[in-house]
């Protein structure tokens, strides 16, 4: 029994640590469907949000195990590499224990999910010397570039509806942003979001044989559609099989809410491409 409290919607999941939930079906019959679904939530996504996608996957692929990981603002912006590695270690242990031919569907949400995906792939490569064992990948509302206004929205959306607190956080972000950019300019390095973008198109981390679909929207106020298209185009040039679906009016990580039938049809089509 898990030592952590499991939130509503994930009662039948085991909570491996404060960030990770894991579900194994009662039985697994041989099929062409995924054996394993890995959900990497957007920054500060609540368990109730993740539960909606997990429930849909249970209906779509009932014999698949599901592993869900959340990422907080602190994890993405302030936590050390060692702290983040410790956070994802239980997930890595589950992945290491899977049979060699496990069919894995990776579902990334926003830059927060991409960040954790990068960490997992790097750790997996370091330990096994192999690419991350992904059969197909969903890119939902990502990846973007760091843009000040979008960062302010991303870091304040999960805060309590307290005007003073939101104003303080917004002020801090505006003050520190120029120094943040200057640091990378002077050191000749790139920020963590650019690292993530590069990692997700790194053939040493993510196999070229795993097709991917980019789902994004013109109405997303956190991720520019052009940023997503730029990454998809680069992936295609590198040899990845890429599909794109551009929504017109859905907000950030809200495409499934606006058109659930169309959204899950995209996931099924992607899996058929991989099979």
What average pLDDT does the segment 246-256 reach?
A: 97
Q: Provide CATH code, domain 14-146+191-274.
A: 3.40.50.1820
**Of 150, 141, 132, nearest to 113 (Cα)?**
141
pLDDT surpasses 50 at 1: no
Burial class (CB in 10 A: 0-12, 13-18, 19+), 76: buried
Shortest CA distance to 20 belongs to which of 92, 121, 123? 92
Number of CB atoms found within 10 A of residue 229's CB: 14
3-state class of 132 per DSSP? strand
Alpha carbons 51 and 116: distance in angstroms, whole number: 18
Q: Give residue-wise pLDDT tens across range 149-207.
A: 776 666 777 667 778 877 787 777 777 777 767 777 777 778 999 999 999 999 999 99
Region of poorest pLDDT, from 21-35, 115-129, 163-177: 163-177
The pLDDT assigned to 161 comes to 74
- Predicted confidence at residue 162, as pLDDT, reads 76
At 3, is the pLDDT very low, low, confident or very high (cuts 50, 70, 90)? Answer: low
Q: What is the mean pLDDT of residues 19-31?
A: 89
Q: What tokens were used for 176? A: 């520190």
Q: Where are the domains of the chain?
A: 14-146+191-274
pTM for this model (two decimals): 0.90
Instruction: Measure the CA dihedral 171/174/175/179, to 10°.
Output: 150
Residues of the chain above pLDDT 70, percent: 94
Measured distance CA(246)–CA(244) in Å, rounded: 7
More confident residue, 230 or 28: 230
- What percentage of the chain exceeds 90 in pLDDT? 75
What would the mean pLDDT of 16-28 be, rounded to a whole number? Answer: 92
């Amino acid at each position: 029994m898990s030592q952590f409290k499991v939130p509503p919607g994930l009662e039948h999941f085991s909570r491996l640590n404060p960030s990770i939930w894991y579900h194994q079906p009662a039985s697994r019959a041989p099929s062409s469907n995924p054996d394993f679904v890995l959900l990497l939530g957007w920054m500060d996504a609540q368990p109730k949000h993740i539960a909606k996608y997990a429930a849909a996957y249970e209906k779509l692929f009932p014999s698949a195990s599901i592993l869900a990981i959340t990422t907080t603002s602190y994890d993405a912006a302030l936590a050390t590499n060692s702290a983040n590695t410790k956070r994802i270690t239980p997930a890595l242990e589950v992945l290491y224990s899977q049979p060699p031919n496990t069919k894995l569907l990776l579902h990334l949400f926003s830059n927060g999910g991409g960040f954790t995906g990068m960490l997992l792939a790097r750790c997996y490569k370091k330990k096994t010397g192999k690419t991350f064992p992904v059969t197909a990948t969903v890119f939902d509302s990502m990846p973007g570039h760091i843009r000040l206004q979008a960062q302010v929205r991303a870091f304040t959306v999960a805060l309590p509806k307290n005007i003073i607190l939101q104003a303080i956080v917004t002020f801090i972000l505006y003050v520190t942003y120029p120094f943040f950019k200057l640091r990378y300019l002077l050191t000749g390095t790139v920020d963590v979001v650019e690292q993530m973008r590069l990692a997700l198109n790194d053939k040493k981390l993510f196999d070229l044989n795993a097709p991917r679909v980019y789902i994004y929207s013109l109405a997303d106020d956190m991720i520019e559609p052009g940023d997503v298209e730029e990454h998809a185009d680069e992936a295609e040039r590198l040899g990845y099989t890429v599909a794109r679906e551009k929504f017109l009016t859905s907000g950030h990580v809200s495409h499934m809410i606006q058109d659930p039938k169309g959204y899950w049809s995209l996931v099924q089509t992607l899996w058929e491409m991989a099979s």
